[in-house]
Amino acid sequence: MTSGSLSILERKEIEAQLARCPSLPSLGSINKALQGLLLAEQRYSAQVAEIIRCDPSLTSRLLRLVNSVYYGLSTPVNSIEEAVFYLGMRQIRQLTMVTPIIEDFQKLTHQCAFPWREFWQHCIGTAILTREVLSVVQAPADESDYVAGLVHDVGKIVMAWSFPDHFTEIHHQGSITKRDLLELENEILGIDHAELGALYLERHHLPELMIDAARYHHHPERAPRHVPIIASVQIADMLVRSEGIGCSGNYQPITHDDAFKAAGWRVLLPHNHEAEQALARASLHRSLERLPLLLEGLV
Q: Residues in the site for Fe ion, rule: CB under 5 A?
A: 153, 237, 248
Beta carbon of residue 233, minimum distance to Fe ion (angstroms, whole number):
8
Residue nearer to Fe ion on the CB measure, 100 or 149 = 149
Beta carbon of residue 136, minimum distance to Fe ion (angstroms, whole number):
20
User: How far apart (Å, rounded) are the C-alpha atoms in residues 262 and 193?
Assistant: 19
Residue nearer to Fe ion on the CB measure, 190 or 246 = 246
Beta carbon of residue 42, minimum distance to Fe ion (angstroms, whole number):
34
Beta carbon of residue 98, minimum distance to Fe ion (angstroms, whole number):
16
Residue nearer to Fe ion on the CB measure, 87 or 291 = 291
Q: Which residues pair with 3 in a beta bridge?
A: 6
Beta carbon of residue 196, minimum distance to Fe ion (angstroms, whole number):
11
Beta carbon of residue 234, minimum distance to Fe ion (angstroms, whole number):
9
Residue nearer to Fe ion on the CB measure, 61 or 152 = 152
Residue nearer to Fe ion on the CB measure, 48 or 233 = 233
Beta carbon of residue 246, minimum distance to Fe ion (angstroms, whole number):
9
Tell me what percent of the chain is helix, strand and coil, each rounded to the nearest 5.
70, 0, 30
What sign has the CA pseudo-torsion 121, 124, 127, 130?
negative
Which of 234, 242, 299, 291 lies closest to 266, judged by CA?
A: 234
User: How far apart (Å, rounded) are the C-alpha atoms in residues 267 and 164?
Assistant: 36
Amino acid at 122: H
How many Cβ atoms sit within 10 Å of the Cβ of residue 295? 23
Residue nearer to Fe ion on the CB measure, 84 or 112 = 112
- What Rg do the C-alpha atoms of the chain give, in angstroms? 19
Residue nearer to Fe ion on the CB measure, 261 or 273 = 261
Contacts 24+ apart (CB under 8 A), 201-208: 201/27, 201/151, 201/154, 203/18, 203/19, 203/23, 204/23, 204/24, 204/27, 204/28, 206/27, 206/28, 206/30, 207/30, 207/31, 207/144
User: How far apart (Å, rounded) are the C-alpha atoms in residues 36 and 46?
Assistant: 16
